[in-house]
Amino acid sequence: MRSYAGRLGSLLPRATRLKLDRKGKFGAAILGAYVLVAFVGLYLVRDPVQQDLVHRLAGPSWHHWLGTDSLGRDMFSRLIAATRTDLRFGFLAMLIPLAIGTVLGAVAGYLGGIADSVIMRLADLVQSFPVILLFLGVAAAAGTTDSFLLLGPGELPIMIVFALVGWVVYARLIRSEILRVRNMDYIDAARGGGLSTPRIIVRHILPNAIPQTVVYAVVDVGLAVLSLASISYLGLGIPAPNPEWGAMINDGQIYLAQQWWLVVAPGIAIAGLGIALALIGDGLDDEMRR
């Protein structure tokens, strides 16, 4: 009998076994730096919510590398703390819709018929619903309480909206790929061998249908972070005083003429993460086309 490790290895999509090219490795190095900062950064900086009104809006110095904000909080510490918040949210906002969309897309693509029609019409309904109204409704119902999944205050309603809306793209991607491979000879051989439908989908179809979805998932992390920053910039996301890149840009924009670094620093952090993920996704895509 094959070991569990061997079985798990057979489930890994081809995209996860690819070697990144130079730009992909560069993006992975940048992403690795972000992850390192998210894990250990908070242990190396001061309290990101501690106020010092005497030194509010101080310029960059050896004591405050990026100065202080309007409440005297150390900007460098808040930037580091926000890295954990945004990165954690970005990956969870990708993984949850990916899991839901993969299951629904696999069922729709392989079974077809009524299951396909119901799931695709549900996807059409979700895409036609105004996302901002959905977010406001969920936010009003969920409030800003802490939640499971290690989410912080204010993240739960945003994550619910991402899960309700984000699965559609993954479901459509998986479905289209499964429609392409479900009638190939090796799938017919698996059916002829008496394998169950779940076993055929998990062991033989998904590993060959999911690589393009993995590429999109990598880029989707950056899109989720950008969406969170946009929502927080509008004052609907992570509540104060919790540090978040979009909220930091919102707080510092009125001081842009004099203290421009209050806006530029979190903006660079968002752009750097987006570039890193785009490079990784582009590298994976180029490798799969070879």
- Which domains does the chain carry? 20-289 (1.10.3720.10)
The gap from C-alpha 207 to its chain's centroid, in whole angstroms, comes to: 21
What is the reported pLDDT for 18? Answer: 55
Q: Are 282 and 22 in contact (CB under 8 A)?
A: no
CA dist 113 and 66 (Å) reads: 59
Helix, coil or strand: residue 234:
coil
Best CA proximity match to 243, nearest among 256, 228, 261, 224 = 228
Q: Which one-letter amino acid corresponds to residue 275?
A: I
List for the chain the helix, strand, coil content (%; round to 5).
Answer: 75, 0, 25
Phi-psi region of 29 (alpha: psi -120 to 50; beta: other; left: phi over 0): alpha
Best CA proximity match to 240, nearest among 85, 130, 120 = 85
pTM, entire model: 0.81
Residues in CB range of 148: below 8 A, 6 or more apart? none
CA dist 196 and 190 (Å) reads: 9
**Ranges of the chain whose pLDDT falls below 70:** 1-19, 132, 135-154, 289-290
